[in-house]
Structure 1
Amino acid sequence: MKLLKRVLLLLVIVIGVVVYLNYPKLNIISGYAAKNVASGVFVAHRSAASMNQIDNNVPLVELAVTEVDESEQSASSTVYGLMKRTAVYRDGLGAVLINDEYDPSKLTIRPQRNQPSDTIPYPYGQAAPLDSVFPDVDMDQINKALAIAFANPETQKTRTLLVLYKGQILAEKYVDGFDENTPILGWSMTKSVLATCFGVLQHQGKLNVEWPAPIAEWKDDERKDITLNHLLRMQSGLAWDEDYSGISDVTRMLFLDSDMTVAQKEKKAIAKPTEIWNYSSGTTNLLSGILRQQFRSHQEYLDFPYAALVDKIGMYSMVLEADIAGNYVGSSYAWASTRDWARFGQLYLNKGKWNGEQLFDPEWVDYITTPTIHSDGTYGAHFWLNAEGKYPDVPKDLFSCNGYQGQYVFMIPSKDLVVVRTGLAEEPDFDVNSVLSNIVKALQ
């Protein structure tokens, strides 16, 4: 009996230690679950059941139980009844995790959007795409590539794939529950959209990426030499932990912070600019805060990405979500349909020109595709690269927007090709090289 009591006591102690060590993580788990469901339901107009059973069916997050309140436009999650977190939807600003600092009366302005209808065929307008035939394209090979992308659905988890060639749709495919109008969360593809706003401002003569970062707290220490270019290239030398497996800089920022532009700003320098390359979502949100500084009012900041870029190229489905403080979460939270993500890729193939209007300098494409030192040729300025042949059977001029769980916009200028793939799995589960190489073969 004494032995049994000792075993039970030891078991209680072990359970207690496990709960103590993991309790703080519940905040992140329930926060992720609530935010993901709220955005999926109220931004993408998907069912709560689908979001819970599929999108939140990932390790640890699957432990959360999430309920949606349609009348309040909110979602709340708990883990074993503990650590309740709630995300609320705000028209025009998407969903946000709330905390004790949240005051809905303080943020009443919304982005003003201009979305005129037209009769111009997709992608340059809102009319149906042209039914084009390209004699130089092997459609059997294209279909083979699509079959590869959607093979093994339990592993690859591809949801949508679109191939845009010479500005025309060659092929597109969607799994059940998704179509050409379904908004997809781009995750870190959002970084490329945020960076493009700086390209637009530079084209307008309102800033230069070689300028020092306008951060007052840095002016008297070693961080004063950090430029916008260093931030865009993730080579500022600032400390940052981009670890999603537990409580880290990035998970605290995304699931606990009211103002996501602050976390990276407060970090110390661990190297001089250009000495290291360190991928950081905090850096992108710092850039979002710097973008806000370029405008006289919050309204102008909220309007700018849409007026100067997003709605300008017809990405009407896009929603840029904002934090509690009203900053766009440029690191992670842009939603858009697969066709609209493809428009973004086509803009880059066009070197910034859209329907006769130059939105950013042609040289901006050269800038964002120039490899950043210490990135092994994989990163430019908020865009990913194939400069060193990461995808060995794909042209090296490929550059891309990449997001968590395998969201991609691939641009291959030498082939006049844009490929958008969305899903719930990335490499190695989803074979990027095989899919892209088979598409490229169809054009040879």
Structure 2
Amino acid sequence: MRKFLKLFGLLLVVLLTVAIYLNYPKLNFITGFASKSVCSCTFLADRSLASIEAQDNDFSPIDLATNKIDFENKSVTSTVFGLKARTAVFKPGLGCILIPEGADPAALTVKPNRDITPKPLAFPYGDLPQKDTIFSNINYDVLNQAVTDAFDSGNDRIKGSRAVLVVYKDHIIAEKYSKDFNKDTKILGWSMTKSITSAIVGVLEKQGRVNRNQSHLFESWEGDKRADITLNNLLQMNSGLAWEEDYNNISDVTKMLFLRADMPKIPREKNLEGIPNNSWNYSSGTTNLISGFIRDQFKTDQDYLDFWYTELIDKIGMHSMTIETDLKGHFVGSSYGWATARDWSKFGLLYLHNGNWNGEQILTKDWVDYTKTPTNTSDGIYGAQFWLNAGGRYPDVPKDLFSCNGYQGQQVSIIPSKDVVIVRFGLIEDPIFSFNDFLSGILAAIN
């Protein structure tokens, strides 16, 4: 028995050594992802470490990390077998920031001013309960079954849904959450945040401060062909700039999110490798470049931080939302927007109502129409930081659907022909979780 245990122990050491050797170049990203995830889920979403490690960080190789929470200093440090410690720090109003090696987290002191005064109106325009309404054209048995079918039963991990919300004619007609989640839980939208960034540009254009067709966007681009790239090209992911969006390896996007203090800097320094308006390429770097462009429209960091909330987010009652920043104070507009499912649905409703929010035109109808216009060379799947069904991506769902989509199957689907917004949060995405079946199942209940 003793000999067996020695051999088993030796084998375990060998396996651990091989695992470390194979993953060592990625350790910065493993511990960076782990610490950032635990920090945000702890201090923004008020979830337990056990829940975070069992759900959000339970995939290889992220599950190699050991995470320690410092509640007094509101930070999280993660390591892999004691190696490559990375720390994320919570900043009030800014969320959790992953600190690059050698950087000073105390350098960032500005935070956005928020107006979260509750309005004495029913959802979605205020915080009062909505009036009980039964729609005669809805088969509630079919609806509730479709929503239930989106969730796992028991300890299964097949569908991975955490939240589903269906809003029809401004009324919540279905709402369901998984264990550890409820209507007040803030959930990370990942790339759904790109659509928020697009909306901010829409607000700026409505105010006459920018124009989607303007070029000469950055001083460092003057003197080369990048000066001809338009804001429209960036919004449509069609700039021609080099970018590698690969989350499984060391790539442009992982370097940006997990190593850099100034996220817009990486895409701004990229060369032109394609033809603007003829080179669609999905790029989180492009969205953070847009965030950097937005910053350039303001005199101070304070004005920039305040604008996103005062002119859009808080104006439509998304008071639970926090968009996290990098260490230079840029909103990480590509990836780091947190809000409750109900508040995410409000953003969808703004677009469903052509930019009008309870009588106030926040975005022009023209901007909403532009948002859902297919990008050249995208085969009808992408607009201006929104995904489209114009090309029939979901064959059993109306083609007028457009949506905010995020990693692991986060989605706010806007379907004007059905007057409905459908929100889904989860840990599993297409094709394992079929959005075609999910969406069409819900829509089948609305006659």
The CA deviation at 1:103 is 2.5
Partner of 1:144: 145
1:408 maps to 411
The partner residue of 2:420 within 417, 420, 424 is 417
Aligned to 1:77: 78
Q: Does residue 1:94 correspond to 2:60, yes or no?
A: no
Q: Which residue of the partner structure matches residue 8 of structure 2?
A: none
1:208 maps onto 2:204 in alignment: no
Residue 123 of structure 1 aligns to a residue whose secondary structure is coil
Report the residue type matching 1:188 in the other structure.
S
Aligned to 2:298: 295
Would the alpha carbon gap of residues 169 and 57 (structure 1) be closer, same or farther in structure 2, given more than 3 Å must change? same
Residues 64-106 of structure 1 show CA distances to partners (whole Å, capped at 9, x for unaligned) of 1111010010011011211110100000000011134432443
Q: Residue 354 in 1 paired to residue 331 in 2?
A: no
Q: Which stretch of structure 1 is more off in the superposition, 103-112 or 154-163?
A: 103-112
Greater displacement, 385-394 / 17-26: 17-26
Deviations 1:300-333 (A, max 9, x none): 0000010000000000000010000110000000
Aligned residues: 433
Which residue of the partner structure matches residue 440 of structure 2?
437
Select which of 225, 236, 240 maps to 1:237.
240
Deviation at residue 373 of structure 1 after TM alignment: 1.3
SS at match of 2:162: strand
Can you give the 5+ residue segments of structure 1 that lack an aligned partner in the other structure?
Answer: 1-11
Structure 2 matches for 1:212-361, cutoff 5 A?
A: 212-361=215-364
Where does the alignment leave 5 or more consecutive residues of structure 2 unmatched? 1-12
Contact 2:51 2:180 in 1 (8 A): no
Change beyond 3 A, Cα 1:253–1:436: same
Whole-angstrom CA distance in 1 between matches of 2:342 and 2:15 = 51
Q: Tell me which of 369, 389, 394 is aligned to 1:366.
A: 369
Partner of 2:31: 30
Secondary structure of the 2:267 match is coil
Matched-pair contact (CA < 8 Å) for 1:320–1:333 = yes
Q: How does 1:84-123 map to 2 (within 5 A)?
A: 84-123=85-124
Shift of 1:240: 0.3
Contact 1:180 1:338 in 2 (8 A): yes
Contact 2:324 2:336 in 1 (8 A): yes
Q: Secondary structure at the match of 2:203?
A: helix
Tell me how far 1:21 sits from its aligned partner: 5.3
Separation of aligned partners in 2, 1:319 and 1:41 = 14
Which stretch shows the higher mean deviation, 356-365 or 103-112? 103-112
Give the aligned residue type for 2:286: T
Amino acid paired to 1:139: Y
Give 1:19 shift: 4.8
Amino acid at match of 2:432: D
Is 2:188 aligned against 1:185? yes
TM-score normalised per structure 1: 0.95
Partner of 1:171: 174
One-letter amino acid matched to 1:78 = T
Which amino acid is the alignment partner of residue 386 of structure 1?
N
2:89 and 2:96 in contact (8 A); partners too: yes
Once the two structures are superposed, residues 182-219 of structure 1 have per-residue CA deviations (whole angstroms, 9 ceiling, x without a partner) of 00000000000011000011111111110015211111
Q: Secondary structure at the match of 1:119?
A: coil
Q: What residue is the counterpart of 2:6 in the other structure?
A: none
d(CA) in 1 for partners of 2:108, 2:147:
44
Shift of the 77–18 alpha-carbon distance from structure 1 to 2, 3 Å rule, reads closer
SS in 2 for 1:83: strand
Taking structure 1 as reference, are residues 23 and 146 closer, same or farther at Cα in structure 2, changes over 3 Å only? same
Question: In the aligned structure 1, how far is the partner of 2:174 from the partner of 2:58?
Answer: 29
* Aligned counterparts of 1:213 and 1:43: Cα–Cα separation in 2: 38
Contact 1:213 1:228 in 2 (8 A): no
Q: Which residue of 1 aligns with 2:9?
A: none
- Offset, 1:50: 1.0
Is this contact kept in 2: 1:37–1:75, CA < 8 A?
yes
The change in CA–CA distance for 1:440 and 1:15 in structure 2 (over 3 A counts) is closer
> Contact 1:101 / 1:258 at 8 angstroms: preserved in 2?
no
| Partner Cα separation in structure 2 for residue 18 and residue 308 of structure 1 | 49
Work out the CA distance in 2 between the residues paired with 1:426 and 1:19: 29
Change (3 A) 1:18 1:118: closer
Structure-2 separation of matches of 1:44 and 1:375: 35
Deviates more, 1:207-216 or 1:143-152: 143-152
Structure 1 counterpart of 2:278, which letter?
Answer: E
Q: How far 1:14 sits from its partner (Å)?
A: 11
**Does the residue aligned with 2:157 lie in a helix, a strand or coil?**
helix
Q: TM-score, normalised by structure 2?
A: 0.94
Residue in structure 2 matched with residue 7 of structure 1 by the alignment: none
Q: After superposition, give the CA deviation of every residue in 1:112-162 in whole Å (9 maximum; x if it has no partner).
A: 001112210011111112211101111111012112211464111100000
Q: Distance in 2 between matches of 1:349 and 1:187?
A: 21
Aligned to 1:159, the other structure's residue is in SS state strand
What is the alpha-carbon distance in structure 1 between the residues aligned to residue 97 and residue 122 of structure 2? 35
Amino acid paired to 1:93? L
Identity %: 52
User: Counterpart amino acid of 2:176?
Assistant: K
